[in-house]
Chain A
């Protein structure tokens, strides 16, 4: 017997849920094994169960595959970072709860680092929240500030979690694609731009926020001051928030500068800026991130946090704080890890680009971040015989994993439904990999054309 659950949803009136409890009235004492189970997922997570990573990390888990897919370093974090964790874990009280909104020494260190970067006072207790990764910051920000009836502008391609998080908050994602300036001939991430008129059209009275990601994953675009100003003007004009995902903030390559939109006039008061220890220190497994912004916004993120997981792990926060102090002291020094990592990655970027070109692929050279997107259509690999309804890039990668033992991530995973066609000829490679991994990739790419399919 089908148990219907009807919802009357009216704006501003509490929703009621009627269950036609036919089943529970007629069958009182059956065991759970025979009784149909009425408990399905809540509406907020309807349709949010699938996930590109679950699909592709499984496929690439085979150790014989050179994995340039998921964005995690296989290089070691710097030794002093690992040592700080060992030191922290040896202190008894650091294995117990710390301050919910962020371990005091960590929020203090973060405030110092970012005061220097931003040139403004940042209160460690009210302007900062420490979260479980930048992921947790995105979640806290969206849950705190976005709700049913809101629209949130998301720039495509986008880090995949933005869309489901916005939907889980009951809001509507409104997509706008980065478009290739030179009519499809994109040699650099800077060639991918927003059309200002198109962007302006996406803003309306329901727009609660725009999510900005700079440096950008997956393209590696570093938004210029002028580009940020266009966004800022619209935010101010429409009284919109800006959620600025800046996890790759230190990874910008020569000739580029990371600019914080929160520092543009009129923007501090409407921006939450998100950072990540995982990306800053190559410790993705520490899962620590932070949100920085004005107290009147951060306090709502703190409320979400105290009702979701309350505190983040203590020893990791202490170790991170110490690492930050180390680098804060040398922020004017080229040896600071924030800059040395960037230099290390720039040469990996260049090497990766060279190898891809030699294999006949068209990479888009990123100005920042540690991903590179590649146009694979130039190879003309015919996958029409695979009868899956998946986009070309998904099929290409599965073929590439099987036949070349090399993995990447399909770009259409980072797009809304309307633009999949536009992006399905691109795949994303991650290059924060040790030399031996890149060597292995080199072998595959050099031999690419020697094998048949």
Chain B
């Protein structure tokens, strides 16, 4: 290719930029486990129990709601809706969470719809975490928390759940994995901006008890720290356990952002509809991030999810409720998988919630059969 003669800097016509091109905020966050493992699974595996999504269909009432929205003749559903959330969806979410939290919620200011819970997390960190802030992350954690904190210029401070295996040699439950209260307290400093809570926890399946949440809440109030509460698996709780929402604890509503997911709630991960619920004084900052990053979420999926929630609102607590049926069905699958893994010598940790379980392969990988 001929060189441009018009300037003394003579760049080759096909030259890339000669100076560093990417922003420093991307430092150290380029690797991603899913990019690697999804590819591997697609290439090699016969049975993929890796990435977290159902291989059974989303419930009929939900897909029918989508078809109805499409077939209904309202072609404006193909155009922009309200940026902070499609009105029917934020309204029904407000109604639902009013029940669950026992407080009045304004759909316009206490709820925002996001592109999956993933984008809700992103909005939280970008809106609330500044350079130099520390964010406590409980290990093991959903992988994106760490790079998102870093991208916001924050410093992740880790505190592990520690296993306390039962003395009788029985299989561990996710309940046997606990935070050490003193260790947790030591992680809070003057620079601590927030703690990320994920209950039910991915990957362990731990469902934090009221007492455990109380401990975290006390520390948040004492140190004036925010709580980013990732509750995407809120309906997937087994053995009659109860999902307790930390925002309902004393002193917590005003400092907590609750994150939810239609993908997990309604087994439709590909729709990428999530939400945040919280006080206006926190959500207004998330709205600012949202309006300067994606601005709107796709309309039609929001319309269908709204109808899904309307159905669930009517059936709340009843046996036909999807929120009752899905955990029932998944509990059986859990038990089946636990049995299979136990049978081959892997040591599964029985999850109290979510649709993941962690298995100890340390002895399995040493066994001669492998």
Which residues from chain A contact B17 at a C-beta distance below 8 Å? 239, 241, 269-270
Residue positions of B touching A, CB distance < 8 A: 1, 4, 6-7, 9, 11-19, 21-26, 29-30, 32, 34-35, 38, 51, 53-58, 63, 66-67, 70-71, 75-81, 83, 115-116, 118-119, 122, 126-133, 144, 147-148, 151-153, 190-191, 193, 221-224, 226, 250-255, 263, 267-272, 281-282, 284-285, 287-289, 291-301
A160-168, A219-227, A339-347: which one contacts chain B?
Answer: A160-168
The distance in angstroms between the C-alpha atoms of A309 and B298, with both chains bound, is: 13
A16 at the interface (CB under 8 A from B): yes
Which residues from chain A contact B271 at a C-beta distance below 8 Å? 95, 313-315
Q: How far is the CB of B193 from chain A (nearest CB, A)?
A: 8
Q: How far is the CB of B259 from chain A (nearest CB, A)?
A: 13
The distance in angstroms between the C-alpha atoms of A169 and B23, with both chains bound, is: 9
The distance in angstroms between the C-alpha atoms of A284 and B222, with both chains bound, is: 46
A83-91, A327-335, A365-373, A393-401: which one contacts chain B?
Answer: A83-91
Interchain CB contact under 8 A, B268 and A96? yes
A143 at the interface (CB under 8 A from B): yes
Q: Which residue of B lies closest to A306 (CB)?
A: B32
Which residues from chain B contact A287 at a C-beta distance below 8 Å? 294, 296-299
A85 and B300 contact, Cβ closer than 8 Å, known pairs A17-B191, A269-B14, A294-B16: yes
A403 at the interface (CB under 8 A from B): no
Which residues from chain B contact A70 at a C-beta distance below 8 Å? 80
A41-49, A382-390, A440-448: which one contacts chain B?
Answer: A41-49
Q: Which residue of B lies closest to A76 (CB)?
A: B75
Which residues from chain A contact B270 at a C-beta distance below 8 Å? 94-98, 311, 313-315
Which residues from chain A contact B19 at a C-beta distance below 8 Å? 239
Q: How far is the CB of B224 from chain A (nearest CB, A)?
A: 5
The distance in angstroms between the C-alpha atoms of A294 and B21, with both chains bound, is: 12
Interchain CB contact under 8 A, B76 and A139? no
Residue positions of A touching B, CB distance < 8 A: 7, 14-17, 19, 21, 23-24, 28-29, 31-33, 35, 37-45, 48-49, 51, 53-54, 70, 72-74, 76-77, 82, 85-86, 89-90, 92-100, 132-133, 135-136, 139, 143-147, 161, 164-165, 168-169, 233, 236-237, 239, 241, 265-266, 268-270, 278, 282-288, 294, 296-297, 300, 303-304, 306-316
Which residues from chain B contact A7 at a C-beta distance below 8 Å? 131-132
Interchain CB contact under 8 A, B30 and A303? yes
Q: How far is the CB of B299 from chain A (nearest CB, A)?
A: 4
Beyond the given pairs A133-B295, A313-B270, 4 more chain A to chain B contacts, judged by CB atoms under 8 angstroms and listed by A's residue number, are: A42-B129, A82-B75, A265-B1, A303-B22
Q: How far is the CB of B136 from chain A (nearest CB, A)?
A: 15
The distance in angstroms between the C-alpha atoms of A147 and B153, with both chains bound, is: 12
Interchain CB contact under 8 A, B144 and A300? no
Interchain CB contact under 8 A, A72 and B79? yes
What are 30 A-to-B residue pairs whose CB atoms are below 8 Å? A7-B131, A14-B131, A19-B190, A32-B254, A45-B289, A76-B78, A82-B75, A90-B67, A92-B56, A93-B55, A95-B267, A95-B268, A99-B38, A144-B23, A146-B23, A169-B23, A239-B17, A265-B1, A266-B14, A269-B14, A269-B17, A270-B16, A284-B296, A285-B80, A300-B23, A307-B148, A310-B116, A311-B116, A313-B270, A315-B271
